[in-house]
Structure 1
């Protein structure tokens, strides 16, 4: 059976079309009304149409700029604080340097000045902002530097494990350098008319402590003849208990041809071949070149040790009195110290001499008596030199060792072992010494500890660590003088203070070194301000673009709304007329 479907009258199509147009106009009017009330093109990104991708991009850029500005804003106080702090440290260094240069600070004044400067510098380095210590690098949750009291006097807060401070290390170094009181030089009488001065027989002690003979004695006239045999010191032979890993750390101190010592903080990664203990030892010797090993220190593993062979000879100096000297005749002996400096002991012949004189010797009734007087005066002169120049050197050397100490296994401050007949540096790293720096111990550049992203293409490094060379030198210079005070003023203490002053001046950082840090953060401060200004300008551009994409200007919306309302009204009228259309009305 065939089904006949009802047909749609042709006249209904225009009416449906008109109704759809009316609904579209009504929706446009509603959208414009919403824009007029909210001031926005749309309430969702879909309402933006083709502009939505540009809007999303602009918003992402604005969000990124907000993040950059947060980082810049938080970094600015940090940079300002570090810059101000370093300037204050520089002031303390300059104050002490001026006092040491004047060389007349008054009894105990330089020690007190250094102690004040040390406390001030440590307080500055332990400053924090936002609960984070700015001079600790990435380890910013605790004060990076030990207090002045702990640093100098040690830490006995745990009675079961007291920690030695700088003064204890200075006392150890002074004791090892002085020996029996004559700087580890022995004075003897090989014959009735001669005096001999000989270096320490132990090669390890000779390589590390006390005086050595820097050459033949100089006699101002022919009253005596001098013979000198130079001493030789063979470097110690290194041995590893086991092949070091690349991460194993150890310290090696070598005697240089110039007379001083140099410290190397190394790791297994620095050696060319660590496949076996023997190969590692050979690689270490190759790395050191002409330097002769004076001492080593490591953790276990790798258990680095160094042994001095029986070879090498102690230097000796013999003075034979050939005739009686005249009043004013002089005998001068040049001595070398392990810090690379030298000092000269000079004795002058006099007819009468005080019993405790360390600069004159009496002309005796016989050559034997004159030789005896030279021997006794030489002992006093060496004791005086040990108590002054050598003691100042000991103080500075101990200070350098103390501030070279690190928390890394194997790199603690060097300590001296007195358990044997002669002292020696302990080869197992100490665990009973104060670690002065407790911040980040990375070997990376200090500035890289904190990096601030200032834009999508640039970042600024604004980290700081208290163990930077210039800051560590400032602490070492201040601490060396602060740790030297004896509380008494004598001729020897005054001479020791003068000798220490020249060495402490060498420890203190140069003004250029401190200014280098100040300049780093001055430039960083300027860069942060410039980045902030640039971000502000870029933000204004993207904000303008976003406003253009998302904002609906009231004037334009009102004009379009009026136009649509007029069109809608006209459409309603036309639709009403069409709805009333009939044959009767048409014939009318």
Structure 2
């Protein structure tokens, strides 16, 4: 402190000492805590940097917490998918056509083993993590599936799968168990006898006549497969030769094909075989034997192939896929039913209650198209009341060449649109279709005619109106399928989590995806099917017409087809879903590493801003302490100065 001639500035000295004391206290705090300041206000110019870095670290902590949470869920899903894959293989290998086991043990145990596997699948699909159900898409507050018992047996007066199967079997078999085919003999022509075989109506049930082939010339036939219902007439004039045969092909309710062959013989086997008929003394006797053999073969096939096909068809009706309704046989008399109806939640157990799109990319969103000459017709598959699939709400044309393209919208339920192409169709002609989703969202599809190669939203003009119509039909099918795919969406996107500023990971699951659905359908079908083998020689029909082994073979073949490794590349398969989740996990790991590195950098920056070196602080304390001691002494000496002391 300077002592000048005018006066001694004691107040200033005290002020300086006070500041040094405050600084000394701050340094002591820094030495004890390692922090520059105890409050934000004391940060000074470093405050904005500190706040910014802390905000960023908080964001990273949030992302890291999301990553940890999603990793936990992905681990659960990975374990579930691994088990699903094993169950799929076990089910595929447990029921093999022709492998019945000792004393037919495989046939006896197949239903219970399948039910056990189904119960495990249902339990896993209803799995939750901390109360969050993960196989229902965005619907996470409730289990997506009922219990196995409710699914199979029903609950609260609502029908389960067994009831739906029994109804479908009755509707497909018919009361006479001929598979909804009618047989009759026409003897009005004295020169020949005709055996009639016809479908009993225009409906989705039973056998559908598809093909016919013959060996020999003794069995005449006239087939009409284009009419609805289809029919075949077998004509007998002269007796056929031994070995003459006819083979009939049928389409079954699940879309598969089967055949029966009837062969002419001179002597019947003992017991009689249903695939043979005895050549009679005249046309009438031969026709009668042929009709009896035909009916026996139909009953035999109804009890085996048809029963299996009915069970799997019912599984498709009950365990509905995304964009499909639950269907049941309509009416109170299933043996004579002519249609399916949409099941309601009040009378039928709904197998899946999670998130699900109302539009499926499969089958053009439940629309079909066909070309007949120069006319292309787009038709709805289902009535509006089913609330699934696209509905055609409008169709317009914009043609530079009037008359080149015309449109006719047929009102009705279901509706259809017919587009007719004339010889004057020209480049630039447009057809716009307006499709409505069940939720009300509308999609417009516009196709424009071009002279050369067509691109997206275009169709090529052909040399003839028919060729143009064919090109338009293909382009329309592609565009509608793309629209349906967009409407269906990706189940993985139903649940997502932010893992960084510009990145999210998608890991949603829906139990009605193709891979899970095929397992549930096939296991449920195998669970409810039985394989009765009636015995006793007094009834010649018993052992032959109710072949348990043939039914088991048909069921096993369908299960193997449903769970085939060849389906691994299909959308929604367990293998593809596993791969998609693997990609999601890789994204999590990459984001986690980036956050870890960035956090380390930010921690270093924050340390530079908010912390101090204790060694440096200690040196500052020593220096300050020396100055402070000196200041105390000088101030003390100056404070004692007076004129008397000065004169002394």
Query: TM over 0.5: same fold?
Result: yes
Q: Which has the higher contact order (CA 8 A, sep 6+)?
A: 1
CA contact (8 A) 1:405 1:413 kept: no
In structure 1, what is the equivalent of residue 236 of structure 2? Answer: 321
Q: Write the distance in 2 (CA, Å) between the matches of 1:316 and 1:520.
A: 50
- Work out the CA distance in 2 between the residues paired with 1:131 and 1:532: 26
Partner residue in 2 for 1:74: 69
How many angstroms apart in 2 are the aligned matches of 1:511 and 1:411? Answer: 25
Whether the aligned pair in 1 keeps the contact of 2:133 and 2:140 (CA below 8 Å) is yes
Does the Cα contact within 8 Å between 1:80 and 1:525 map onto a contact in 2?
A: no
Q: CA RMSD in A?
A: 2.7
Report the CA distance between 1:72 and its aligned residue. 2.0
- TM-score, reference length from structure 2: 0.70
Which among 152, 159, 165 is matched to residue 160 of structure 2? Answer: 165
- The partner residue of 1:56 within 51, 57, 60 is 51
Structure 2 equivalent of residue 195 of structure 1: 194
Residue in 1 that maps onto 2:583 = 523
Residues 372/39 of structure 1: CA separation in 2 closer, same or farther (3 Å cut): same
The CA distance in 2 between the partners of 1:539 and 1:169, in whole Å, is 59
Does structure 1 residue 563 correspond to structure 2 residue 619? Answer: no
Kept in 2, the 8 Å contact 1:111–1:484? The answer is: yes
Aligned to 1:500: 555
- 1:533-579 deviation digits (Å, cap 9, x = unpaired): 33222222222222222222221111111111212222233334444
Query: How has the CA–CA distance of structure 1 residues 316 and 39 changed in structure 2, closer, same or farther, with 3 Å as cutoff?
Result: closer
Matches of 1:418 and 1:355, distance apart in 2 = 38
Please name the residue that 1:511 is paired with.
Answer: 568
Q: Tell me whether 1:119 sits opposite 2:107 in the alignment.
A: no
Instruction: Determine the C-alpha separation between the residues in 1 that align with 2:5 and 2:332.
Output: 120
Is 1:553 matched with 2:469? no
Matches within 5 A, 1:213-252: 213-215=209-211, 217-233=212-228
2:199–2:209 CA contact under 8 A, matched in 1: no
Greater shift, 114-123 or 576-585, is seen at 576-585
Hey, what's the Cα distance between the residues in 1 that align with 2:335 and 2:297?
25
Residue 421 of structure 1 deviates from its aligned partner by 9.1
CA change 1:64–1:320 in 2 (3 A) is: same
Q: Which residue of 2 aligns with 1:347?
A: 262
Distance 1:48 1:335, change over 3 A: same
CA distance in 1, matches of 2:327, 2:6: 105
- Change beyond 3 A, Cα 1:347–1:571: same
Q: How many residues align?
A: 489
Corresponding residue of 2:180? 184
1:359 aligns with 2:275: yes
Structure 1 partner of 2:317: 401
Among 593, 596, 600, the alignment partner of 1:533 is 593
Closer/same/farther in 2, CA of residues 389 and 419 from structure 1, 3 Å limit: closer
The Cα shift of 1:23 comes to 1.9
1:129 matched residue in structure 2:
129
Determine if the alignment matches structure 1 residue 154 to structure 2 residue 154: yes
Deviation at 1:444, TM superposition (A): 4.6
- What is the aligned counterpart of 1:424 among 338, 357, 381? 338
Output the CA distance in 2 between the equivalents of 1:462 and 1:367.
Answer: 70
- Contiguous gaps of at least 5 residues in structure 2: 101-105, 358-487, 535-542
In 2, Cα distance between equivalents of 1:102 and 1:421: 29
**371-380 vs 142-151, which moves further:** 142-151
**One of 325, 349, 352 as aligned partner of 1:411:** 325
Q: What are the superposed Cα offsets for residues 241-271 of structure 1, whole Å, 9 maximum, x if unpaired?
A: xxxxxxxxxxxxxxxxxxxxxxxxxxxxxxx
Does the 8 Å CA contact 1:403/1:413 hold for their aligned counterparts? no
**How much does 1:474 deviate?**
1.5
CA positional deviation for 1:391: 1.7
Measured after TM superposition, the shift of residue 360 of structure 1 is: 0.4
Question: What residue is the counterpart of 1:459 in the other structure?
Answer: 504
- State the shift of 1:583 in Å: 5.6
Once residues 415 and 140 of structure 1 are traced to their aligned partners in structure 2, the CA distance between those partners, rounded to angstroms, is 32
Q: Which residue of 1 aligns with 2:490?
A: 445
Contact 2:186 2:196 in 1 (8 A): no
Distance 1:382 1:494 in 2: 17
String of CA shifts for 1:448-471, please: whole Å, max 9, x gaps. Answer: 333222223322122222112211
Would the aligned equivalents of 1:218 and 1:333 in 2 still touch at CA under 8 Å?
yes
Separation of aligned partners in 2, 1:172 and 1:493: 20
- 8 Å contact from structure 2 (residues 170, 334) kept in 1: no
Q: What secondary structure, in the 3-state scheme, does the structure 2 residue paired with 1:135 have?
A: coil
| 1:396–1:504 Cα contact (<8 Å) kept | no
Residue 93 of structure 1 contacts residue 117 of structure 1 at CA under 8 Å; is this kept in 2?
A: no
Quote the Cα distance in structure 2 between the aligned partners of 1:103 and 1:75. Answer: 46
In the TM superposition, what whole-angstrom CA distance separates every residue of 1:121-165 from its partner, at most 9, and x where no partner exists? 11222222212222222323333222222212222xx3xxx1111
Distance 1:49 1:126, change over 3 A: same
- Aligned 8 A contact 2:97 2:554 in 1: no
CA distance in structure 1 between the partners assigned to 2:118 and 2:10 by the alignment? 96
Measured against aligned partners, the alpha-carbon deviations of 1:213-258 in whole angstroms (never above 9, x if no partner) come to 224x43321223222233424xxxxxxxxxxxxxxxxxxxxxxxxx
Q: How far is 1:82 from its partner?
A: 0.7
TM-score, normalised relative to structure 1: 0.77
Which of 67, 77, 87 is the equivalent residue of 1:92? Answer: 87
How far apart in 2 are the matches of 1:190 and 1:336? 26
Alpha-carbon distance in structure 2 between the residues aligned to 1:316 and 1:461: 53
Three-state SS of the structure 2 residue aligned to 1:520 is helix
Distance 1:473-1:560 versus aligned 2 partners, 3 A rule = same
The aligned residue for residue 335 of structure 1 is 250
- Which structure dedicates a bigger proportion of its chain to strand? 2
